Amino acid sequence: NAGVTQTPKFQVLKTGQSMTLQCAQDMNHNSMYWYRQDPGMGLRLIYYSASEGTTDKGEVPNGYNVSRLNKREFSLRLESAAPSQTSVYFCASLETGKLGEAFFGQGTRLTVV
Amino acid sequence: RKEVEQDPGPFNVPEGATVAFNCTYSNSASQSFFWYRQDCRKEPKLLMSVYSSGNEDGRFTAQLNRASQYISLLIRDSKLSDSATYLCVVSRSGGYQKVTFGIGTKLQVIP
């Protein structure tokens, strides 16, 4: 009964490096989301995927790309990390038809130096 | 204006006290409302849904006022374990399930 699994939990990158955050859910949810959470800013949507094969920009997409590999997996890629991308990243999935009842991964604490 | 607004706090209350949080939302098309709880350095988790008729879950009561566009969370007989950040969440459909989080209200229950 894993729910939403997110990896890695911690990561330190140098400016300009790239990395991919992985997310997988086993609840057969159609919708998946990537958020970042910064002090005083709350959770801000980076990208979302309403269904397998579709992705769209959220509120703060610049510097990120995503891939909905299949119904289970939704990855977030930083092509060239910047210090402004230092944040806590959360992946979430939603049960179809239940607006807002989101299930979250444990988060990735990313520091870009 | 932010779509969902909350007082970030912190609210420092003694054990056993009653505390209430409010949250306002700006989009009248919002359809569903929730309170999430987030412990320090953890992921948010659903605390309870908020219905127009109001709903109660043990010491927690949530209410929705559509006319004034706000939701509230009341915690009675506060416990130390209630210390956390409480996120107001508003959602609606519109091509996808648009879910908007407030910045959260921090509660610290003091012995």
As a three-state string, the secondary structure of chain A is CCCEEEECCEEEECCCCCEEEEEEECCCCCEEEEEEEECCCEEEEEEEECCCCCCEECCCCCCEEEEECCCCEEEEEECCCCHHHCEEEEEEEECCCCCCCEEECCCEEEEEC
Does position A42 have pLDDT exceeding 90, yes or no? no
**How far, in whole angstroms, is CA B28 from its chain's centroid?**
18
Q: Tell me the CA distances in angstroms from B32 to A9, B14, B29, B64, B65, one per residue in order.
A: 31, 32, 10, 10, 12
Mean pLDDT of chain B: 92
Judged against a pLDDT cut of 60, whether residue B95 lies above it is answered with no
How does pLDDT run across A89-98, given as a tens digit for each residue? 999 998 766 6
Contacts of A25 (CB under 8 A, 6+ apart): A3, A4, A5, A32, A72, A91, A93, A103
**Is residue A1 over pLDDT 70?**
no
Where is pLDDT greater, at A70 or A50? A70
CA gap B75, B3 in Å, rounded: 24
Best of B30, B64, B99 to mutate (most A CBs within 10 Å, chain A):
B99
Q: Does B27 touch chain A (CB under 8 A)?
A: no
In tens, the pLDDT along B1-39 reads: 788 999 999 999 999 999 999 999 999 888 889 999 999
Q: How far apart are CA B72 and CA B22, in angstroms?
A: 4
* Calpha distance B21→B104 (Å, rounded): 10
Task: Tell whether the model's pLDDT for residue A103 goes beyond 70.
Answer: yes
A104:B8 CB<8 A: no
Inter-chain CB proximity B96 and A90 less than 8 Å = no
Average pLDDT for A68-89? 96
Which candidate in A43, A52, A90 is best for mutational testing of the B interface (most B CBs within 10 A)? A43
Residue A41 neighbours by CB distance under 10 Å:
11
Average pLDDT (A54-59) is 92
Q: Say whether A101 and B92 touch across the interface (CB within 8 A).
A: no
A vs B, Cβ pairs < 8 A, gives: 58
Pairwise CB contact (< 8 Å): B99 & A94: yes
- What pLDDT score was predicted for residue A41? 83
The pLDDT of A79-95, averaged and rounded, is 95
A56: nearest CA partner in chain B = B96
Binning pLDDT at 50, 70 and 90, where does residue A110 land? very high
